[in-house]
Amino acid sequence: MSQQITAQENTNKQAIKVGVIGAGGRMGRMLIEAVQDNSQTTLSAAIERQGSSLVGADAGEVAAIGRLEVQIVDDLKVVINDIDVLIDFSLPDATEQNMQICAANNVAMVIGTTGFNEQQEQVLAKASEKIAIVYAGNYSTGVNLSLKLLNMAAKAFGEDADVEVIEAHHKHKIDAPSGTAYMMAEAVAEARGQNLKDVAVYGREGQTGERKAGTIGIHAIRGGEIIGDHTVMFIADGEVVEITHRARARMTFAAGAVRAATWVIKQEVGQYNMQDVLGLND
């Protein structure tokens, strides 16, 4: 028994120490499980919002994976020195503060928060001048492979095909369109040499007139418990090509984020995405 404990202690000493923001939420609980399932990582901190009834609880018990002796706290600053990498899938305002704290304490980040405004994008850019950050709207392998395919399709069709992006998520999601929909639309726009801000059309209503060539339609569906469905249609004269990804388990995103955490800890200061992690940008 003593030999087993010693071996476990040595493993924990060598493991990457990961902190999870929003530890009591659905994604937070899955991130905790994914961290503990990965042989390279261990949970060292779990953070919830101030006033949460989960503050003081054991993070492992909250995640239903057994006691971990990691107490949930409501202040990142209290545990920042215990963290090598912080995984943050929270809300833009909270993530903005967390980026500043991590940058000031040389802690790398994996960010899955979506819906940043321009000011928050600037905070991200400044933070990535001090620490390594992986920032992605989606951490699944399949979605990032889809982005590669979208780049190929957009270059092949050019503006000869009309492009529509359709995404569907559960009724609890509070931002629209999804970060993944933006990523997909941006992949198409970039491949066609466009600025997405100049060509994006969000939904249609009333007398819209004829569709303007070169635009990219983006549409959001909300309902039920859909984890995440995304389809990009390339509609040309005489043929339609659809590239679709459907998520069937949130653990896909959590495991991908933990994979990103094991990667970002080895990188130089800068901002990266999941395609960098997967080697798809090589």
**Which of the residues are catalytic?**
169, 173
Q: Enumerate residues 6+ apart whose C-beta is below 8 A from 209.
A: none
E strands, 162-261, in order: 162-169, 200-202, 216-222, 228-236, 239-247
3-state SS record for 106-135: CCEEEECCCCCCHHHHHHHHHHCCCCEEEE
Tell me how far apart the 2 most distant CA atoms of the chain are, in Å. Answer: 76
Q: For residue 186, count CB atoms less than 10 angstroms from its CB and return exposed for 0-12, middle for 13-18, buried for 19 or more.
A: buried
For tokens 């902190």, name the residue: 19
Q: Enumerate residues 6+ apart whose C-beta is below 8 A from 122.
A: none
> Could you give the CA distance from residue 64 to residue 23 in angstroms, rounded to a whole number?
12
Angle between helices 26-37 and 251-264 (to 10 degrees): 60
For tokens 């600053």, name the residue: 77
